[in-house]
Amino acid sequence: MSPNMSLFSVNAILLLSTDDRSRILTKYYSAPHHPPNASKEEPGSNPYPTVKEQKAFEKGLLEKTTKSNSDIILYDGRIVVFKMEGDVMMYVVGGSEENEILLFGVVLCLRDALSILLKNSTDKRTLIENYDLVSLAIDEIVDDGIILEVDPVIVASRVSRAPAQDVANIKGVDLSEQGVYNLLEFGKNKLAERMRNL
């Protein structure tokens, strides 16, 4: 058993455009309990704290993965799993000691959840137009670098479904003529009761 075991397993999730090599959505994670002055190699630390370092990492990653014929690589001392959908590359970055099968499950979940949410139209334009759904889906899968869910159907249903308590309240309201009359009578009685108490 490793002494450095932690739930924190994802350093970053990146959605990058292959056409113009731009960022669509990037999330870099640091464990909330991690001291800010620790070295970049320690588990839980953000390996690329500045935007300049992040963009340099992303540029090199795109150059290396567009030529690669596998879905898992070791890049800059990190395990990177990725999938290409249309003109978008989806990356999940973890530490060098992480389980690549688990990280691959995260990238597959992300790809499949976005496919469900965006009706099989996973390209740069659609991702930007539905940025809120994409960001929510990523947050449902990974929170602060901790993997929460790897089932794309569950992720898609959580992102696209209205909250249950709001729907239940609307169903209990009687909007017929008699229901509105009962509501007015109830309001009158409550108002009269409060006036008597004053």
Mean pLDDT split into 10-residue runs, the chain, 198 residues: 68 90 89 58 66 89 85 89 90 88 92 89 88 91 89 88 53 67 80 80
Distances (CA, A) of 145 to 42, 68, 69, 136: 14, 26, 27, 15
Q: How far apart are alpha carbons 62 and 29 in whole angstroms?
A: 20
**What predicted TM-score, i.e. pTM, was given to this entire model?**
0.72
Taking domain 12-160, whether its CATH number is 3.30.450.60 is answered by yes
Q: What are the residue boundaries of the structural domains of the chain, listed by start? A: 12-160, 164-197
Strand 12-17 and strand 23-28: the pairing is antiparallel
At residue 34, the pLDDT reads 57
Tokens in use for 27?
């999330």
Tokens in use for 5?
């075991």
User: Secondary structure of 141-168 in the HEC alphabet?
Assistant: HEECCEECCCCHHHHHHHHHCCCHHHHH
